[in-house]
């Protein structure tokens, strides 16, 4: 029985490469790399001559079979461009397939943008929710944000710089006035940690497209009094204006406000009748 080693690699600063990771990459028979050109720079830095095979989101199915076949001969390592494979990076399907084939999987921990941002945020005293990359648009994105808002927990997510401003605005609309951290270029020369409310951060990135990958940490929901009826009504009116069906409006408004579904549904019915009356008038 051979072993697939899931190896974390630096997220920017090559000095963060763990000695155990170097030894593992030297000892295995094959390295599955998200981008062989990018990983070649890492291997050259540490004098690693192990052959590589590309493994990324567009060839996962085809490559999984080849890598499992390679495990019949010897051990294999899996690396991504940066950080830990299978955490918002290719790898989960391969790990599942390797386990199903009866081989061992061993993690080699190391640098992580997720834990680096959380540790520097001062906003995560306990449990938190990791969202990875949000769906880019549409109902799936709105549904994920509504579920995340309902937990009240701190949130952590990854984002590309081109969508940062929009994502901060969407987070502000879904979560309200929470504090947040935008961590950019972690461990690199131009590392930047920006703190503020979601609204102020959204304004600061409205006309600016920063460089480098971004981690967003959002603080937990502040303790507050039970929402007033007018506040719930505002949420319901906004969702109705988006064209959602009343039943869905009730579910999402209940998730966002934390009020009982029956109470929210009664308010939805009342506001729908009010809108219909205005339309007839």
What average pLDDT does this structure show over 272-279? 76
Candidate ranges 17-26, 144-153, 183-192; pick with highest mean pLDDT: 17-26
pLDDT tens-digit map of 52-76: 999 998 998 889 999 999 999 999 9
Query: Of 152-156, 177-181, 262-266, where does mean pLDDT reach its minimum?
Result: 262-266
Q: What is the reported pLDDT for 223?
A: 60
3-111 and 114-218 share one fold: no
What average pLDDT does this structure show over 129-136? 94
Q: What is the reported pLDDT for 228?
A: 55
Long-range Cβ contacts of 224-233 (<8 Å, 24+ apart): 226/259, 227/257, 227/258, 227/259, 229/267, 231/257, 232/257, 232/259, 232/264, 232/267, 233/267, 233/271
What average pLDDT does this structure show over 161-185? 94
User: In degrees rounded to 5, what are phi and psi of residue 6?
Assistant: -95, 105
Q: What is the reported pLDDT for 199?
A: 93
What is the SS3 assignment for 9? strand
Query: Of 20-24, 152-156, 172-176, where does mean pLDDT reach its minimum?
Result: 172-176
Q: Is the pTM of this model over 0.85?
A: no
Q: What is the reported pLDDT for 247?
A: 87
C-alpha–C-alpha distance, residues 274 and 250, integer Å:
16
Q: What is the reported pLDDT for 224?
A: 53
What average pLDDT does this structure show over 112-120? 96
What average pLDDT does this structure show over 265-281? 79
Given pLDDT bands bounded at 50, 70 and 90, which one contains residue 82?
very high
What average pLDDT does this structure show over 35-44? 96
DSSP code of residue 189: T
Average predicted confidence (pLDDT) for the chain: 91
Q: For the domain 3-111, what is the CATH superfamily, name and number?
A: Tetrapyrrole methylase, N-terminal domain (3.40.1010.10)
Q: What is the reported pLDDT for 235?
A: 84
Q: What is the reported pLDDT for 279?
A: 63
What are the extents of the domains in the chain?
Answer: 3-111, 114-218, 232-279
pLDDT tens-digit map of 136-152: 888 899 999 999 998 99
Q: What is the reported pLDDT for 168?
A: 96
**What is the number of other CB atoms lying within 10 angstroms of the CB of residue 257?**
19
Domain 114-218: which topology? 3.30.950
Given pLDDT bands bounded at 50, 70 and 90, which one contains residue 249?
confident
């Amino acid at each position: 029985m051979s072993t697939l080693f899931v190896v974390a690699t630096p997220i920017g600063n090559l000095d963060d490469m763990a000695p155990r990771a170097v030894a593992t990459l030297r000892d295995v028979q094959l390295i599955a790399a998200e981008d062989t050109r990018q990983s070649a720079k890492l291997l050259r830095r540490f004098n690693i001559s192990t052959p590589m095979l590309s493994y990324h989101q567009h060839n996962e199915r085809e490559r999984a079979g080849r890598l499992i076949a390679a495990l019949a001969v010897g051990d294999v390592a899996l690396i991504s461009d940066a950080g830990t494979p299978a955490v918002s990076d290719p790898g989960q399907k391969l790990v599942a397939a390797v386990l199903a084939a009866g081989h061992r999987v061993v993690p080699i921990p190391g640098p992580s943008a997720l834990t680096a941002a959380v540790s520097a945020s001062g906003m995560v005293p306990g449990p938190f929710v990791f969202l990875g990359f949000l769906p880019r648009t549409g109902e799936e994105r709105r549904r994920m944000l509504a579920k995340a808002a309902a937990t009240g927990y701190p949130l952590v997510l990854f984002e590309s710089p081109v969508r940062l401003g929009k994502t901060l605005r969407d987070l502000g609309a879904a979560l309200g006035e929470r504090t947040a951290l935008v961590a950019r270029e972690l461990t690199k020369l131009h590392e930047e940690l920006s703190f503020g409310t979601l609204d102020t951060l959204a304004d600061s990135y409205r006309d600016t497209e920063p460089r480098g990958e971004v981690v967003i940490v959002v603080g937990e929901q502040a303790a507050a009094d039970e929402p007033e009826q007018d506040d719930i009504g505002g949420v319901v009116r906004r969702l109705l204006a988006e064209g959602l069906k009343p039943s869905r409006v009730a579910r999402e408004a209940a998730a966002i406000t934390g009020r009982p579904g029956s109470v929210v549904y009664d308010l939805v019915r009342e506001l729908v009748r009010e809108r219909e009356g205005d339309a007839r008038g």
